[in-house]
Amino acid sequence: MATRRRALANAGAAVMAAISLMVGLGNPGREYATTRHNAGFWFIDAIARRTGAELRPEPKFHGHVARVSVGGDALWLLQPQTYMNHSGQAVAALARFHKIAPAQILVAHDELDLRSGAVRLKQGGGHGGHNGLRDIIAQLGSRDFTRLRLGIDHPGHSSQVTNYVLGKATQAERQAVCDAIDEVVDLLPNLLAGEFQQLMNHLHARP
């Protein structure tokens, strides 16, 4: 893991804005915990486990929140508890209170257009039909945040999407996504430093 981080750090690509807030998108409640739409929550849970953090309810931020230190860098973690379509309410509340610019925010979310276990980093852009991203863009008034796209595969037809994303992931699907998440968490120091180009080159080359 350390060798991989050093290789990325020495890659020489441009460094972008450092990340101060990581948001995982999902729906609150036990009935949604293992659904494909909650892949973003799985990502935040993985960081919390790795850092020994405890996510706590914060009513003024409309979500579960923790503040952790990774390699000496402070990082806010957020799981909005507003349900997916109103995710921006929580993101905007925390970002404005702590004066975190959109470019310092990373949002992890499920991605239908990638196979299960694939992972992509993307800076800026539209919402691609994802209602969580749509609301974050509206509430922040900006598209300049980074997205961590966690592949969950596509059911094959648009009419099946709602039931599919709100359906429980199979054991194989969940394992593939969690393996990808673990690899990203291994590289958190690089991510917090804003070494996005190196990370994209590495993560996008995963088999």
Q: Which one of the listed residues 37, 62, 64, 109 is annotated catalytic?
A: 37
Rounded-to-10 torsion of CA 24, 76, 196, 85: 30
**Is residue 66 within 8 Å of 77, Cβ to Cβ?**
yes
The single residue listed with the structure tokens 């974050």 is: 136
Side-chain-side CA neighbours of 192 within 13 Å: the count stands at 20
Query: What's 69's DSSP letter?
Result: E
DSSP string, 112-158: TTS-TT-EEEEES---TT-HHHHHHHHHHT---SEEEEEE----SSG
Query: Is 130 noted as a catalytic residue in this protein?
Result: no
Give the catalytic positions in this structure.
Answer: 37
